[in-house]
Amino acid sequence: MDFNLFGLIRGRIADPNADFLIEPDGTRLSYGEMLERSGRLANLFVRLGVRPGDRIAIQAEKSVWALLVYLATLRAGAVHLPLNPAYTPAEVRYFLQDAEPALFICRPEQETEMRALAAELSVPRVETIDSLVTAALNEPAAFDDVPCAADDLAAILYTSGTTGRSKGAMLTHRNLTSNAETLHEAWRFTAADRLLHALPVFHTHGLFVATNTTLLAGGSMLFLPGFDLDAILRLLPEATAMMGVPTYYTRLLARPDFTRELVGHMRLFVSGSAPLSAETHREFEARAGHRILERYGMTETNMITSNPYDGPRVPGSVGPALPGVEVRIAEPATGAPLPQGEVGVIEVRGSNVFKGYWRMPEKTAEEFRPEGFFITGDMGCMDESAYVRIVGRAKDLVISGGLNVYPAEVEVAIEELPGVAECAVIGVPHPDFGEGVVAIVTGRPDEPAPDEAAVRTALRDRLAAFKQPKRVFVVEELPRNAMGKVQKNVLRETYTGAFAES
Ligand code: AMP
């Protein structure tokens, strides 16, 4: 049986004239054109020497053709390896060395530098995205998709790894197919859907969650080259759904022209990749009349939990396990399942879970329990309705005076205070307590800036003394990565001396 994800996508095309992608200037790409262009690209890949199982690395700006490279790679039975355009040449060197792609597609302005790098690393072929497109247009459109086994690799996505080496998560056709089927059903996507797509396409969220879900439904995407608030506000009236990271929603809320009228017709807003504060969830509902559907997942596991489409969408919770996905909360050291309500590490098992880290069998073995559960490294608990609440990454846990402080709990309490927009809580070395709790907060526009003494006083009867921050710093903006995740490693470095003995 053929498990090539593209076979499934192709089988769902009911009308080749239906729109697949619509760009902000109105340029349209139909499903028929998607088939034709990805066929030309797949033929070109074969002619360039790419064989099934070979990696095709691409570092390019988001574009329709960059997305077609992904689909053509699936068709050729090769392995898609997208790289964040923000990676420096030194970082790209590591990925090329580690993944040994048969073909590397780079940006035209970096051609000389990347050709030299590729030659040094014996990468056999380099094309710029432009030269690739020009060459593809001379290839035939018809292409016989390469049959794949369920366990064959479809993609390798390097995890952003804030410490240590980046690891390549190996995702199989079965992983991607099962999650795409699950999400398209859970979130009720149909051919009538038009998804506003402003996410990057080098990350699981924009590449798999958004794109595969839309493709399996035969729907269309308003395909933006990046996150552009003006364009989003202009295009929302044409969309039926939007997927974003929490920052998209906080930024929309900061715009006075983001109104209920603009989105009254829409069916769904999804948030994920970073925690959506309960505060933002409530504010969005009050302002837009929509309850954002928050889901949780990671590169290695695809999507794990989701608030239900019909049932209650609970602010501050990521919802129950998706159908076909098993989730448990375990004792971090032993993997013993914990009673309901207790905080432990979130573990997951199912056909959505990746095959392992590329060429790192020991690292892979360390992250799985003997019964096949993957250890996510996220700490959380489950309530009586099996809804999961995330309290933070295990490595972000603060241990102050021997007591565990879960940053999310403190962040939630601080974000409820007047004048506070966002908050990140970290632990930094403390001469007395081992680690001291530090909060970094941002203020709300047009409101008096929060101040340290007021925040600390306000928390006195809200949090146990050991959880209260011993220092509060007010900043303009929190450092975030491309997916809107707060970079706590950066904050820990910045504030490491907060309790240094003078
Ligand atoms: P990535 O592999 O880049 O998608 O990052 C995955 C990590 O993002 C997870 O392990 C979580 O720590 C975090 N994450 C994803 N979705 C959520 C969410 N809804 N709430 C809180 N954290 C999330």
Whose CA is closest to atom 20 on ligand 1? 275
Q: Residue 284 has which token pair?
A: 């969005």
Per-residue pLDDT of the chain (502 residues; tens, 9 = 90+): 899 999 999 999 999 999 999 999 999 999 999 999 999 999 999 999 999 999 999 999 999 999 999 999 999 999 999 999 989 898 899 999 999 999 999 999 999 999 999 999 999 999 999 999 999 999 999 999 999 999 999 999 998 655 567 899 999 999 999 999 999 999 999 999 999 999 999 999 999 999 999 999 999 999 999 999 999 999 999 999 999 999 899 999 999 999 999 999 999 999 999 999 998 999 999 999 999 999 999 999 999 999 999 999 999 999 999 999 999 999 999 999 999 999 999 999 999 999 999 999 999 999 999 999 999 999 999 999 999 999 988 989 999 988 889 999 899 999 999 999 999 999 999 988 889 999 999 999 888 889 999 999 999 989 999 999 999 999 999 999 888 899 999 999 999 999 986 4
Its pTM surpasses 0.85:
yes
Residues 112-161 pLDDT 10s: 999 999 999 999 999 999 999 999 999 999 999 999 999 999 999 998 65
Whose CA is closest to atom 7 on ligand 1? 298
Contact 253, 225 (CB under 8 A): no
| Most ligand 1 atoms within 8 A of CB, residue of 298, 346, 375 to mutate | 298
Whose CA is closest to atom 21 on ligand 1? 275
Contact 425, 398 (CB under 8 A): yes
Angle between helices 89-99 and 111-120 (to 10 degrees): 40
Distance 248 CA to ligand 1 centre (A): 15
Helix (H/G/I), strand (E/B), else coil: 422: strand
Strand-pair category, 388-393 with 398-400: unpaired
- Whole-number pLDDT of residue 161: 57
Ligand 1 atom closest to residue 300's alpha carbon, by position in its atom list: 2
Instruction: Count CB atoms within 10 A of the CB of residue 60.
Output: 22
Distance, in Å, from the CA atom of 482 to the CA atom of 416, rounded to the nearest integer, reads 26
Residues 6+ apart with CB under 8 A from 447: 418, 419
Contact 274, 292 (CB under 8 A): no
Instruction: Count CB atoms within 10 A of the CB of residue 410.
Output: 25
Distance 272 CA to ligand 1 centre (A): 7
Ligand 1 atom closest to residue 159's alpha carbon, by position in its atom list: 2
Lining residues, ligand 1, CB within 6 Å: 159-160, 204, 272-275, 294, 296-299, 318, 376, 378, 390, 393, 483
Distance 349 CA to ligand 1 centre (A): 17
- Whole-number pLDDT of residue 445: 85
Side-chain-facing half-sphere of 239: CA atoms under 13 Å: 26
Q: Phi, psi (5° rounding) for residue 141?
A: -80, -30
Residues 363-379 pLDDT 10s: 999 999 999 999 999 99
**HEC secondary structure over 445-494:** CCCCCCCHHHHHHHHCCCCCHHHCCCEEEEECCCCECCCCCECHHHHHHH
